[in-house]
């Protein structure tokens, strides 16, 4: 390909991006960062550059990150046994100490350093900082073979979001910082709770009236019965796929998170394959986008409007 052709392609890409930059200027985007995008070096740098560019062109990205594999690795090295109930890690006080060390320290600061190395101004916090995320204990209901009533299992310091207080985020955004949030909440007595990062991202997006909630995964969005990516869905269409079992397993909680965020006022939710370099830019700034976008309905309202 000639140099002139390369230049023409670059110009075409920039021209295509311009109306989206104008449309989303000043908007808040909440990005759940996890999966392979957090462990592959090239993908980590690609993600950091994307976030810095979003900020430079006038968007307000807020990052919520996971860290399950990193927690599991450190627990293993410390010879602390791990038990799961209903897909959730049983988190006693010793395990919670490791969770806070990994999420609030190692992983969070790695993301902050990476963004700052690419010219951004990131600040790492947990949901405990500034009383951002108030949490309550989460229990698991599990069928009991001996009685008809499900057994209620206490899984320790695992929580759900009870309340979001966004003052600290507003302050950081006003001062041109990029918040990077570890999904740890604070209970009524000051105790720490580990909370699912997707759920935290969704509740933050609702509380901030975000333009978009973006969930990075290891799959190319929501797949149909033939295994092909569905580029766009309304809430009603997504719920139909859930009810029919087409959406299942690991994509089910992400879809539930998306539907809840949309009902809470978020304009749209994107489920992206984080293993694609520059997935954020491709989704936000191109006409076709990539992977799956879920909106309220064709007219832009909720299904209950």
Whichever domain contains 74, its CATH number is: 3.40.1160.10
Q: What is the Cα–Cα distance from 138 to 26, expressed in whole angstroms?
A: 35
| pLDDT for the residue 110 | 96
Q: How far is CA 122 from the centre of its chain?
A: 17
C-alpha span between 272 and 213 (Å, rounded): 11
142-156: pLDDT as tens digits = 655 554 545 567 788
**Total residue count of the chain as it appears in this document:** 305
Do the domain assignments include residue 71? Answer: yes
Question: Regarding beta strands 84-85 and 178-182, do their DSSP bridges make them parallel or antiparallel, or are they unpaired?
Answer: unpaired
Q: What is the pLDDT of residue 262?
A: 95
Cut 0.75: pTM above it: yes
Q: What is the pLDDT, as a whole number, of residue 13?
A: 67
- 87 domain-assigned: yes
Tokens of 244: 């029919």
- Kind of pairing between the strands at 178-182 and 60-65: parallel
For the beta carbon of residue 77, count every other beta carbon within 10 angstroms.
9
Question: Is residue 75 a part of any domain in this protein?
Answer: yes
Where helices occur in 57-196 by DSSP H, the ranges are 68-77, 93-99, 108-117, 167-174
pLDDT for residue 302: 45
By residue range, what is the domain housing residue 161? 60-194
- Position 222 in a domain: no
Handedness of CA 70, 249, 134, 174 (dihedral sign): positive
Residue 300 resides in a domain: no
Counted domains in the chain: 1
Cβ atoms 76, 49 nearer than 8 A: no
pLDDT at 300: 45
Domain contains 76? yes
Q: Tell me the pLDDT tens digit for each residue of 193-219.
A: 999 999 999 999 999 999 999 999 888
Choose among 190, 196, 208: nearest CA to 89: 196
Q: Is 201 among the domain residues?
A: no
Does residue 205 sit within a domain?
A: no
Per-residue confidence (pLDDT) for residue 301, from 0 to 100: 47
What are the 10-residue block averages of pLDDT along the chain, 305 residues in total?
55 79 94 86 92 96 94 93 82 93 95 97 97 91 54 82 96 96 95 94 95 91 89 92 88 90 93 89 80 75 43
């Amino acid at each position: 390909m000639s140099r002139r052709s390369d230049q023409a392609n670059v110009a075409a890409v920039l021209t295509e991006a311009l109306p989206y930059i104008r449309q989303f200027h000043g908007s808040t985007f909440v990005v759940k960062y996890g999966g392979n995008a957090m462990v592959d070096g090239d993908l980590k740098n690609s993600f950091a550059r994307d976030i810095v560019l979003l900020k430079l062109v006038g968007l307000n990205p807020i990052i919520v990150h996971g860290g399950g594999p990193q927690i599991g690795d450190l627990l293993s090295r410390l010879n602390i046994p791990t038990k799961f109930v209903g897909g959730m890690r049983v988190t006693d006080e010793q395990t919670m100490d490791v969770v806070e060390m990994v999420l609030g320290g190692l992983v969070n600061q790695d993301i902050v350093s990476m963004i700052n190395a690419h010219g951004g101004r990131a600040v790492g916090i947990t949901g405990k900082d500034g009383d951002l995320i108030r949490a309550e204990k989460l229990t698991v209901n599990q069928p009991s073979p001996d009685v008809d009533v499900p057994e209620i299992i206490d899984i320790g310091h695992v929580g759900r979001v009870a309340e979001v207080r966004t003052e600290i985020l507003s302050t950081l955004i006003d001062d041109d910082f990029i918040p990077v949030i570890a999904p740890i909440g604070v209970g009524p007595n000051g105790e720490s709770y580990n909370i699912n990062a997707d759920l935290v991202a969704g509740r933050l997006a609702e509380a901030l009236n975000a333009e978009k909630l973006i969930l990075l995964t290891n799959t190319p969005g929501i797949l149909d019965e033939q295994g092909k990516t569905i580029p766009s869905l309304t809430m009603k269409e997504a719920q139909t796929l859930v009810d029919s079992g087409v959406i299942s397993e690991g994509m089910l909680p992400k879809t539930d998170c998306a539907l809840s965020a949309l009902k809470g006022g978020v304009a749209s939710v994107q489920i992206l394959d984080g293993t694609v370099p520059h997935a954020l830019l491709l989704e936000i700034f191109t006409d076709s986008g990539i992977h799956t976008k879920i909106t309220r309905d064709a007219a832009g309202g909720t299904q209950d409007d």
